[in-house]
Amino acid sequence: MQDKRLPFIEEKEIAWEDQGGGVRRKILGYDSNLMMTVVEFKKGSIGYLHKHPHRQVTYVHSGSFEVQVEGEKHVLKSGDCFFILPELGHGVVALEDSCLVDVFAPAREDFLAPKK
């Protein structure tokens, strides 16, 4: 599994995928070992608590979020990041219009599956 656009990817050429509830996502690039996405949230939008077998590091590109990891809440702002080990419960609430950059290892194959 590998993104056919590699090695150079221009973000402006990637369509947004509506995730519902004021959230939209672009998959910037991936292979079987790694994936990068950008996710925009409208103020008040929620990335509901969930967990997965992937490692994840998330960079707050703009705005601010209340981030919850395993029941602990923390406010993160532009320039901050958080790291998620496999199977840790986590979620976010956008405190203003905001944007995250997520990196997953291995890639989130579920993000590539056709929509049902």
Q: Above 90 in pLDDT, residue 52?
A: yes
Q: By percentage, how much of the chain surpasses pLDDT 90?
A: 91
Position 27 confidence tier, pLDDT thresholds 50, 70, 90: very high
DSSP state, residue 112: H
pLDDT of residue 6: 82
pLDDT of residue 78: 99
Q: Above 80 in pLDDT, residue 116?
A: no
Domains and CATH numbers, the chain: 40-108 (2.60.120.10)
Torsion from C-alpha of 56, 61, 66, 70, nearest 10 degrees: 10
pLDDT of residue 113: 84
